[in-house]
Chains A and B, each alone.
Chain A
């Protein structure tokens, strides 16, 4: 397992849409293991998309159990070709991102989502989740569509803060 370097804005790769994974090969599995290692190498990191290491494949890893604050979660999720099939409600929260260092901002997301994806064995999965885990999944899927949270900031007063390192 390798910890991969993270690309940051304004790297143009982050603005590109990622491609659907057609076949889960050994390379795909190796990439997933490296993404897991990369996620866990960053304290406070709860999600990563393959594009953040420069690979334009629709793969995200989410692990809300890594959060400092306790949130209801489904543990480590490997999602290949994730697709939100249903969403409802709105929730605002402060987001940060490994690809946008030293900045956090308030973003509105859907409160509840139902997401379809393939697991590492290529089996179709369905997950219903809400709250912080739903926010993280939407944030990561945004990466697959070439967006970072800065593209979604909708309020400024007291909402955008410099992150103190």
Chain B
């Protein structure tokens, strides 16, 4: 049975980080099953789901990754994955929730708490701080999966009340989920 790990690498962005990691994985015959990579505040972050080659141990792989990435100030973490489920499950009742307003602490907490209390599963989130003329506007776009027994109207009302108390704008749209 194949063994899978999740590998997280974070460090100051610099040319070549991806290729150094990918080179070690290639030489160790490990396969990248899924990945996400981004730059947050100048920090390059990657999460990889890796299928290990039967002759490669996690310890060997990590040692080689650490050795080869010495010229990058990068932190590496890994977790064993018991059962790998390829590909994200397609949400059954997907909605996109857009939130924007003047930045302040508590926006993410309040909204995600409300969603969790209503058993709404967050499947992806993107956020950014949009800076313009000395103002910081926080933008968060949430991809979520609503339980079948909850209506958009029910959730909309709760979120609009929350928007008022947080002084932000919240929009909900049924997500595009067709395959073309």
Binding site for B on A (CB under 8 A): 8-10, 15, 92, 100-103, 105, 108, 150-157, 160, 162
Q: Taking CB as reference atom, which chain B residue is nearest A105?
A: B141
Which of B102, B132, B141, B168 interacts with A101 by CB under 8 Å?
B132
The answer to whether B101 touches A154 (Cβ under 8 A) is no
Q: Taking CB as reference atom, which chain B residue is nearest A98?
A: B132
Main secondary structure of the interface of B (DSSP, over half): strand
Interface residues on B, range: 20 to 34
Binding site for A on B (CB under 8 A): 96, 98, 100-102, 124, 126, 128, 130-133, 135, 137, 139, 141-143, 167-169, 171, 173-177
**Do A156 and B128 contact each other (CB < 8 Å), given the known contacts A8-B137, A10-B168?**
no
Known pairs A8-B132, A155-B175, A156-B143 / 16 extra A-B pairs, C-beta < 8 Å: A8-B130, A9-B100, A100-B130, A100-B139, A101-B130, A103-B130, A103-B139, A151-B98, A153-B141, A153-B173, A154-B173, A154-B174, A154-B175, A155-B176, A156-B142, A162-B126
> Which A residues are CB-close (under 8 A) to B128?
102-103, 162
The answer to whether B169 touches A15 (Cβ under 8 A) is yes
5 shortest A-B CB distances, which residue pairs? A156-B143, A151-B171, A155-B176, A101-B132, A102-B130
Least distance between A154 CB and chain B CB atoms (Å): 5
13 contacts between A and B (CB under 8 A): A8-B133, A9-B137, A10-B100, A10-B169, A101-B130, A101-B137, A108-B176, A151-B98, A151-B171, A152-B173, A155-B96, A156-B141, A156-B143
Q: Taking CB as reference atom, which chain A residue is nearest B171?
A: A151
> Which A residues are CB-close (under 8 A) to B133?
8
Most chain A CB neighbours (cut-off 10 Å) among B96, B102, B133: B96
Bound complex: CA of A17 vs CA of B143, how far in Å? 28
Bound complex: CA of A141 vs CA of B62, how far in Å? 55
The answer to whether A160 touches B175 (Cβ under 8 A) is no
Least distance between B164 CB and chain A CB atoms (Å): 13
> Which A residues are CB-close (under 8 A) to B98?
150-151, 153
Q: Taking CB as reference atom, which chain A residue is nearest B144?
A: A156
The answer to whether B169 touches A151 (Cβ under 8 A) is yes
Bound complex: CA of A15 vs CA of B132, how far in Å? 18
> Which B residues are CB-close (under 8 A) to A103?
128, 130, 139
Least distance between A157 CB and chain B CB atoms (Å): 6
The answer to whether B171 touches A152 (Cβ under 8 A) is yes
Least distance between B115 CB and chain A CB atoms (Å): 15
Bound complex: CA of A156 vs CA of B176, how far in Å? 9
Least distance between A119 CB and chain B CB atoms (Å): 33
